[in-house]
Amino acid sequence: MKGNLPYPLNVFFISTYPPRQCGIATFTLDLVKATSELYDQVSGQNKVIRVVALSDIHEEYPYPPEVIFEITDHQKPDYGKAARFLNSSDVEVVCLQHEFGIFGGRNGRHILNLLRDLKKPLVSTLHSLGGAPKKYSKERRDIVRAISQRSTFVVVIAQKALDLLRDVYGIPPEKIVMIRHGAPDVTFLDPSEHKAHIQAKGRPVILTFGLISPNKGIETAIEAMDLVAREIPEVLYIILGVTHSKVIERFGEKYRHFLENLVRKEELEKQVVFHNEFVSPNDLSTFLAAADIYLTPYRSKEQLSSGTLTQALAYGKAIVSTPYPYAQGLLDNGRGRLVPFGDPRAMAQEIIYLLQNESERSALRRKAYLFGRRMIWPKVARDYLKIFARTLEK
């Protein structure tokens, strides 16, 4: 151990990875960067963190140098090849970033072929558990159990996930570790100083960002904006992000067109703006800095993680959200406001109240920002490094 950190280990992550546009890819990139930076600080060593990237058959990605092996998600033989590659490498710990929808096979079963053949120590981060759709829930639960049994440790991001793994999935509690979703370390910013950069000077700004899909519940937010605009006509609601690639594969831009039509129907073209782009971290920072309220109107009652909500909290935003499990835990103790699922009137009332009460909005912001300091990436990376070291002690 050096500087309270384990010596630099050769760690391989299995995950989607930028430039592929995916929330798990962004999470892994941030974790890889933070881990590498910590190792550099204590030892001067680098290039110990590498990635096995999940690609898809439709596109070739210009990956950075740390990606040294690719799995084409629906090509079952690739998973066995990846296991053989890892077994023959100098890797000491493999870290799987698991999310339903990024691996091939029904419910992503192909990843089990890799884990079956893998002979290296494994730590798995479970970004979600096997809930919906109901007809697949048993199979998904079986996959979660299989991953957990093969792993020395399983990492979860929320207390609710830890409770479910222990009490419902029957995973021994000593195998489960909670490490919060990482967040950027930023200063506490005044939104009014940044609105001119997004052409919103003098306007109250509400922001939702991330990959667009029907489970995000954005139609509820648009219906709420109709009510908000009657009280505060100058309000601006920004919907920032491209449609999720998996949604486009199955449905094209049907959901986005539905949302755009809803905006026209409600005559909200001046109050609701779509930015159909996957923005750079710097541009995203500008939008977050300018927002007065961050809004997550998600529909899923089972969502156990949200990188976008984590980031908004770290930026010290006043947050209004539906009460999915991750939001309940993150916004507890007055760090945000929760409104019922699918209730535009309740959502509008909360937004109007916060926009008209600056002192209350500021109090929420301060609580959110202070809590967010516990989740900055260097702290999260340090926790992962300690788990990797414990894995080798088993």
Tell me: pLDDT of 191 over 60. Answer: yes
User: Which residues fall within 8 angstroms of residue 284, CB to CB, at 6 or more apart?
Assistant: 209, 240, 311
Boundaries of domain holding 60: 11-182+376-393
Asked if residue 316 and residue 224 are part of one domain, the reply reads yes
Overall average pLDDT of the 151-169 stretch: 93
Same domain, 101 and 242: no
Which pLDDT score is estimated for 6?
Answer: 62
Helices 137-150 and 110-117 cross at an angle (nearest 10°) of 20
In terms of domains, do 352 and 237 share one?
yes
Q: Considering only CA atoms, which of 247, 272, 244, 243 is closest in space to residue 260?
A: 272
170 and 41 within one domain? yes
Which position has the token pair 């195998």?
175
| Residues 98 and 156 reside in one and the same domain | yes
Q: Are residues 302 and 241 in the same domain?
A: yes
Residues 45 and 57 in one domain: yes
How many domains does the chain divide into? Answer: 2
Whether 3 is covered by a domain: the verdict is no
167 with 196, same domain: the answer is no
Same structural domain, 103 and 225: no
| The token pair that represents 115 in the structure block | 């884990």
pLDDT at 263: 96
CATH of the domain at 45: 3.40.50.2000
For residue range 294-352, what is the model confidence (pLDDT) as tens digits?
Answer: 999 999 887 888 999 999 999 999 999 999 999 999 999 999 999 999 999 999 999 99
Query: Does residue 154 sit in the same domain as residue 226?
Result: no
Give yes or no: residues 23 and 138 share one domain.
Answer: yes
Residue 362 tokens, joined: 């500021």
Entry field: residues in the chain: 394
In a domain, 6, yes or no: no
> Element (H or E) spanning 303, and its range?
none
**Residue 56 located in a structural domain:** yes
Choose among 52, 142, 133: nearest CA to 96: 52
- Other CB atoms closer than 10 Å to residue 274's CB: what's the count? 16
- pTM for the structure as a whole: 0.90
Please report which residue ranges of the chain form alpha helices under DSSP H.
Answer: 23-43, 76-88, 110-117, 137-150, 159-167, 218-231, 245-251, 254-265, 281-290, 307-314, 325-330, 344-356, 358-372, 377-393
Q: Are residues 213 and 163 in the same domain?
A: no
